[in-house]
Amino acid sequence: MSEPIEWAEKYRPSTLSDVVGNKKALESLKKWAEEWLDNVPEKRAVILHGRAGIGKTSTAYALANDFGWEVIELNASDQRTAEVINKIAGSASKTGSLFGSGGKRLIVLDEADNLHGTNDRGGARAISETIKKTDQPVVLIANDVYGVASSIRNQCLEIKFNNVQTRSIAASLKKICKKEDINCDDESIEKLAQDSDGDVRSAINDLQAAVSGNELHIEDIATSQRDTEESIFKVLTKIFKGHDINDALNATYGIDESPEDMVHWIDENLPAQFKHEIDDIKSGYGYLSKADIYLGRVRNRQNYRLWRYANILMIGGMVVSRSQNYKGFIKFSPPSYWRKLGQMRAKRDLRDNIASKIAQHNYKSIRHVRSNLTPVYTKLLKDDDYAVDITADLNLSLDELVYLTGSKKTTKRLKNIHQKAESMVENFSAPDSFSTYSSSTKKTSSKKKNSKLDESKFNKNENTQTTSKTEDEPSQPVDQSEYNEKKSQDKSQKSLFDF
């Protein structure tokens, strides 16, 4: 006996006209797709962002179906390292389909705001490079657009999907009931639509769970009501605009934010929400500092029952500190502390990627590279001739080049170095067919060997001669006169004696 099909999948929209709600977002997406029919548009990728269950992924597939494009998808269940993305999405971005309109392929990356951990190492950089060079349309899907790396966001057109209105969900549920030959009353449909809180997928799943036979009544869904999660912004509104302490406290219980998180949200928004009224701000921070004392005791003693006192002080303190009703809307901001932590994590990932490349090139550990070799490479990159060779040999991205040189921003010099390095790599058919900033080495016709930095070349004594080793021969002292003669013959070949 075959298993029943989930209605959310069975009635997934096949065209953009079947997608429920978000008409403005659909128009923007369709306009972007139409630009691909004529030429490659300025924004080669688009980010569809919004809460889960409102039709972002379904819209991407409906778009591909409308335009006759083949779909290549990578989601969170797949390993999304740089190697995998270059292999799948990278190749797909340069080659079209044999079928469909113009032979286009739609590359879909689901959960683009969830590129973290070892399984996704280097994935964000690979996606950024793919978008720069792609000849095929790319759709990224994310719940939180700010969770997507800024290097990717800057290259994409952002399209926001909002919660679907209750009446639109109700109309969609009625169509499903008609197709499934289910007798339902309007009151039941309205309740399911309201309980979904704008989530179409949840509403369809709840409908399928509540149906008994071919009947649906209001009592059938009384026990299957979905617990809707409060938005952090709705809670902050009750904290900074409300007058009831209990109402504000109860609202915090419905969100997935601990007191450790709430203290950062309140700290970030307190001055702006109190319109910079000194007395109110002073009172608010007084309560916030007392709450922080309890949070510190929780961390030290691991006694989480003290969270209740911190919660009352920070939430109730904001309500009682407000001396007047501040009119007008002021946008709530996420904690800047979290943004700084995210930037630090991005820098650490960048540092680790660079260290990994240098370590692989020199057959050294990553720890040894960080402490000893990275400063050497930073000095070498100050010379333009060395910089091009190193960038090409290590296959550094522009962001990695900027980080390794210690520059605070991307300069024209660094862009030129990166472009020359890319041209150098493209001109060589095999990556091992060139040697970088190394001394002249002998190579046999049967073996190819990657150039390798020898640490002995960085001896503090400038007069000490260095040795050059090949894989098959013992070390021999380098004759300085022979080296100078060789250098005059081939000026393009650099060695560490020039440094």
Delimit the domains of the chain by residue range.
7-160, 166-221, 232-321, 364-434
Residue 50 annotated as binding? yes
Instruction: Check residue 266 and give its pLDDT.
Output: 92
Per-residue pLDDT band at 220 (split at 50, 70, 90): low
Nearest residue to 191 via CA among 214, 173, 212: 173
Residue 342 annotated as binding? no
Position 254 pLDDT exceeds 50: yes
Residue 21 annotated as binding? no
User: Which has the higher per-residue pLDDT, 438 or 54?
Assistant: 54
Residue 175 annotated as binding? no
Instruction: Check residue 130 and give its pLDDT.
Output: 79
Per-residue pLDDT band at 448 (split at 50, 70, 90): very low
- What pTM, to 2 d.p., does this model score? 0.52
Maximum average pLDDT range among 214-218, 293-297, 466-470:
293-297
Residue 57 annotated as binding? yes
Instruction: Check residue 94 and give its pLDDT.
Output: 54
Residue 169 annotated as binding? no
Say which CATH topology domain 166-221 has. Answer: Helicase, Ruva Protein; domain 3 (1.10.8)
Nearest residue to 81 via CA among 106, 115, 52: 115
Residue 96 annotated as binding? no
pLDDT tens digits, residue range 293-306? 999 999 999 898 89
CATH of domain 7-160: 3.40.50.300
pLDDT tens digits, residue range 1-48? 345 678 888 888 889 988 988 899 999 999 999 988 888 888 888 999
Position 470 pLDDT exceeds 70: no
Residue 189 annotated as binding? no
